[in-house]
Structure 1
Amino acid sequence: MFLLALFILASQTVTGLPYHQRSVLWNTLAGIPISPRQEHATVALEDSVYILGGVVPDPSNTSIYLTTDLVQRYNIREDTWNTLASMPIALNHVNAATVDGKLYVLGALAVASDGAWRATTEASFVYDPSEDAWDVLGSIPIEHARGSASVGVHGTSVHLAGGMRILHAVQGGEQDTVDTVSIYDTLTDTWTSAPGAAAALPEGRNHACSAVVNQTFFVIGGRTEGQVNVKDTVFTLDLEDPAAGWSTRSSRMPTARGGLACGTVENAVYTFGGEGNPANGSKGVFDQVEKYDTLADRWTELAPMPTPVHGTYAAAVSNAIYVPGGGISIGGAAISTLQVLAV
């Protein structure tokens, strides 16, 4: 019933907007329980949206953020949340994907002894929703370990492009960026580098968003070192012929940004929010929503987010895209809000 209501609303127009900004509608749903959340992974599986790990405010000092192992599921039909079995270790900037009804964590950042968030080779496990249980997979080879990668699924393989190995979450702290492209085979629990010219992105990226449309892997926007070195590029890889290497689309995202989220409906990728906005004062967060027609290689601006965020992912189910949590100020300020766009 809830999805049907969303589709009916999506067919209405928002008056007062230019024509190209109509035919979409935002709504706010039941918020994330227990704690505000950001730098978590978001994936969809059947009629549910899952959020994994990330950072949450310390209850005793909300200016301090703690990395969490918390996993929560949002039931779309019931507009309710429940807490699931925790991940084996606490992680942020989680790389996650769903393959054959299971949920995979394939790299992330964890708190190191020096307090920095560093890539860990132990962030490799799989969740079975039917049993509410995690199984630990083989360790990630050090050359493939990172968080904040762009993730795309092709058959039973998961592709990871770019990412970062260190984020020192203090003013001016060290951050890096990699251009590595890896493939994880869910059937054999093995990691390899992408073949030939696909083994590296045209330029390193972290905090980019990603999508797979018609067997093409898209890596959109993102940043290099630091929160303000944001990009507007669209890199693509043909997953049927990865050895041919990466291409750069001629049409660039209208608003360069990192820390953005995106969701895919049919042949279009919708991009949301992000970090590094000099026009937003001290908050530094984007409210932009831009639609990319992957077939026409064309961008369209849509109505902005009701609450601008960065540091989250989006998940599409049918004609709705869910954006849970995120930060409302550059660096931090996590929220519990679940925003949904019907398209």
Structure 2
Amino acid sequence: MARPFLSPALSFAILLAAAPAGAHEVGAWAGASSAPAERSEVAVAALDGKAYVIGDYNGATDLLIYDLAADSWSKGAPFPYPVHHTMAAEKGGRIYVFGGYVNGWEASDRVWAYDPKTNAWEARAPMPTPRAAGGATLVGEKIHVVGGSGSGRGNVRSHEVYDPAGNAWSKAADLPTPRDHLAVQTVEGRIVASGGRIDGDSGKNLAANQVYDPATDAWSEAAPLPTARSGVASAVLGREVLVIGGESNRRTYDEVEAFDLPANLWRALARLPTARHGFGAVTYKGRIYTLTGSPRPGGDRSGTVEVLDPKGAAPAR
């Protein structure tokens, strides 16, 4: 059973979440070079100053590589097959890609590692639980894969841990609120799982926000996401998780909300210029880069890249 998390601050956090978002917005956005191909329902991971965009709802397999310092794009070896709603994380100079939907809406258990030095993909040990639209995040030397959906889009609670060095899997405490299309990030050695939806239905978005402590193998409840949504991008800056954009069955979101884990508080930042979902975000030199995604609910796509400077000054170009 989940134990209370930072309960003394919870009531204040709820009051903050209920306040008008515009009163708390900070930061400034700027545009950057568009991707060479439009994408949505991608996984995005960063390594050595580059962001890697993997997968596509419409079946494209080219690996898109964005040089964050140079604001320029290139392509790497194509992913071995069409995949969408996959999950990715970096460890040890490689990008690891987990599951996703293949052959339409069949959840995959396959795992691949991309090595930028050889520009090649290598198959790795499959996940114990096939899934898509979950989250993958690095904690120490291991990658945690949390939540998501199986074939038929029914949610899975599974929380499984991949050891890249041993190419082996182990199990961890299940996600208390099963969901997909959620944000999963690591802050100060703990995992934050925010938002998402029930059984792939964007009309059933959630404000759930739960924190996993590897030291105790236990989840706890945290201040809820102020704007319930799914299909978000997310990134970490300092001790905050930024939850960006997303969708419902009626619209896409431009909300940008940041969760301060130690304080158990949310704050609003400047709104995303292009509301969208099915995209990714990475942090580079104190700024948040958002890449591709769909500006309309469902299966649209774009090559949009927009950059947030949370200190309020537009990034220099």
Q: Same fold (TM over 0.5)?
A: yes
Q: Deviations over 1:31-87 (max 9, x none)?
A: 010x210011011112111101122xxxxxxxxxx3232211101121110000111
CA RMSD of aligned residues (A): 1.6
Q: Work out the CA distance in 2 between the residues paired with 1:340 and 1:26.
A: 5
Q: Do the aligned partners of 2:177 and 2:208 also contact (CA within 8 Å) in 1?
A: no
Residue 190 in structure 1 maps to residue 168 in structure 2: yes
CA apart distance, 1:18: 5.9
Residue 260 in structure 1 maps to residue 238 in structure 2: no
Q: Which of 210, 229, 246 matches 1:235? A: 210
CA apart distance, 1:98: 0.2
Residue 139 in structure 1 maps to residue 126 in structure 2: yes
Q: Work out the CA distance in 2 between the residues paired with 1:106 and 1:191.
A: 12
Residue 155 in structure 1 maps to residue 140 in structure 2: yes
Q: Deviations over 1:244-282 (max 9, x none)?
A: x11111x1111000111111101011111111165xxxx
Change (3 A) 1:295 1:185: same
Q: Work out the CA distance in 2 between the residues paired with 1:277 and 1:163.
A: 18
Q: Do the aligned partners of 1:68 and 1:92 also contact (CA within 8 Å) in 2?
A: no
Q: Do the aligned partners of 2:139 and 2:190 also contact (CA within 8 Å) in 1?
A: no
Change (3 A) 1:94 1:18: closer
Q: Which residue number in structure 2 is paired with residue 52 of structure 1?
A: 54
Change (3 A) 1:254 1:18: closer
Q: Do the aligned partners of 2:146 and 2:184 also contact (CA within 8 Å) in 1?
A: no
Question: Any runs of at least 4 consecutive aligned residues in structure 1 with deviations exceeding 4 A, and if so which?
Answer: none
Q: Which residue number in structure 1 is paired with residue 149 of structure 2?
A: 164
Q: Deviations over 1:164-219 (max 9, x none)?
A: 123xxxxxxx532111111111111112221xxx1x11121100011101111010
Counterpart secondary structure, 1:163: coil
Q: Work out the CA distance in 1 between the residues paired with 2:228 and 2:243.
A: 11
Q: Which residue number in structure 1 is paired with residue 219 of structure 2?
A: 246
Counterpart secondary structure, 1:314: strand
**Letter of the 2:113 counterpart:** V
Superposed counterparts of 1:290-305, under 5 Å: 290-305=257-272
Aligned residues: 289
Q: Which of 256, 259, 263 matches 1:289? A: 256
User: TM (normalized to structure 1)?
Assistant: 0.81
Counterpart secondary structure, 2:205: coil
Change (3 A) 1:140 1:175: closer
Q: Do the aligned partners of 2:22 and 2:268 also contact (CA within 8 Å) in 1?
A: no
Which blocks of at least 5 consecutive residues in structure 2 are unaligned?
A: 1-20, 311-317
Q: Which of 1, 17, 24 matches 1:20? A: 24
Q: Which residue number in structure 2 is paired with residue 58 of structure 1?
A: none
Superposed counterparts of 1:191-230, under 5 Å: 191-194=169-172, 198=173, 200-225=174-199, 226-230=201-205
Which blocks of at least 5 consecutive residues in structure 1 are unaligned?
A: 1-16, 56-65, 167-173, 279-283
CA apart distance, 1:163: 0.5
Q: Percent identity?
A: 29
Q: Which residue number in structure 2 is paired with residue 130 of structure 1?
A: 117
Q: Which residue number in structure 1 is paired with residue 15 of structure 2?
A: none
Residue 319 in structure 1 maps to residue 286 in structure 2: yes
**Letter of the 2:301 counterpart:** A
Q: Work out the CA distance in 2 between the residues paired with 1:301 and 1:19.
A: 8
Q: Which of 135, 148, 155 matches 1:177? A: 155
Counterpart secondary structure, 1:205: coil
Change (3 A) 1:227 1:18: closer
Q: Which residue number in structure 2 is paired with residue 102 of structure 1?
A: 94
Q: Do the aligned partners of 1:228 and 1:275 also contact (CA within 8 Å) in 2?
A: no
Higher relative contact order (CA 8 A, sep 6+): 2
User: TM (normalized to structure 2)?
Assistant: 0.87
Q: Work out the CA distance in 2 between the residues paired with 1:96 and 1:26.
A: 25
**Letter of the 1:134 counterpart:** W
Change (3 A) 1:191 1:18: closer
Q: Work out the CA distance in 2 between the residues paired with 1:86 and 1:293.
A: 37
CA apart distance, 1:155: 2.1
